[in-house]
Amino acid sequence: MTNRWAIEGDYLEACNCDVACQCIWMESPDDGVCTVSLAWHIEEGSYGDIDLSGLNATWLASYDEGNPFDPDATWPLVVLLDEQANDDQRAALENIFVGRAGGIFGVAVDAHVESVEVATAPFSFTRDDGEFSVEIGDWVSVEAAEQNGVLGELGTVSPHPFTKSLEMNTGKSTTATVSYNDEFTWDVSGNNSFLGDFELGNA
C-alpha cells in the first residue's frame, strides 16, 4: 500500500523558452527543444509518518522532438535529492519524485519518462520576496525573479501541473545552468521561469 504524502513550499522552474513556456498550452517549445530544471523546496511535508520539512528535490529533463507532453513523447529524467535527508527521508523523497507514490509525479513518469537516474547533492534554495535561487552542488545554478505584466501586476500562468491551484507566477531567469553529464548540460540563462508556491499530494 502506498503511503499518503503531502508537500508544500517554494517552486522554481527554468527552461529554454524565451517567454512563457508553450508546453503549458501543448505547443512546441522554442526551437522544438525542451531543456528544463524544476526545483521544489519543501516547507512542510510528510510521507506517511516521515517528516520531509526543509528538504529539497529537483527534476532535470531534456527533450529535442517538440512538446515533451505530447502523447507519444518519452524522455530521460534525472532526479536530484537533498543530501541532508536521512535514509528514511531519502527513500520517501525518491518514492514521491520518481512517481512510485502516485500523484502528479506518478502520472508524468508513467506517461513520459523512459529512464530515471537518481542522485543526491547539497542544496541551497532561497526565496526573497519575488526573487528565487537554487544551487545544487556543482551541477545546477538557477536565479530568477517574478515578472510584472503590462498593467504592473504580477503575471501568472495556468494550468500549471505542479501545484494544486494549477496557477504559477511567471518570471525570468538571470542564471539557469546545468552541468550534470554530457546529456544534461545547458545554459538557458535569461529565459523563461515559473516560480511561486506549490502544494502537491497523492490524496
Distances (CA, A) of 200 to 9, 101, 119, 175: 9, 12, 22, 26
Tell me the pTM: 0.94
Read off φ and ψ for residue 90, nearest 5 degrees.
-65, -45
Sign of CA pseudo-dihedral 16, 59, 53, 135: negative
Evaluate the omega torsion of the peptide bond into residue 159 and state whether it is cis, within 30 degrees of 0.
Answer: yes
Question: Which residues on neighbouring strands pair with residue 35, listed in sequence order?
Answer: 62
The chain-wide mean pLDDT, for the chain, equals 95
Distance CA 127, CA 39 (A): 12
**pLDDT (tens digit per residue) in 78-127:** 999 999 999 999 999 999 999 999 999 999 999 999 999 999 999 999 99
**pLDDT (tens digit per residue) in 167-200:** 999 999 999 999 999 999 999 999 999 999 999 9
Cell 517552486 appears where? 11
What average pLDDT score do residues 134-156 get?
94
The torsion region of residue 49 among left (phi > 0), alpha (psi -120 to 50) and beta comes to alpha
Provide the 8-state DSSP code for 154: B
Q: Residue 186 is placed in which grid cell?
A: 545547458
Closest to 193 in 3D by CA, of 86, 74, 37, 46: 37
What average pLDDT score do residues 127-154 get?
95
Closest to 159 in 3D by CA, of 86, 91, 104, 99: 104
Closest to 176 in 3D by CA, of 161, 188, 165: 188
HEC states along 73-121? CCEEEEEEEECCCCHHHHHHHHHHHCCCCCHHHHHHHHHHEEEEEEEEE
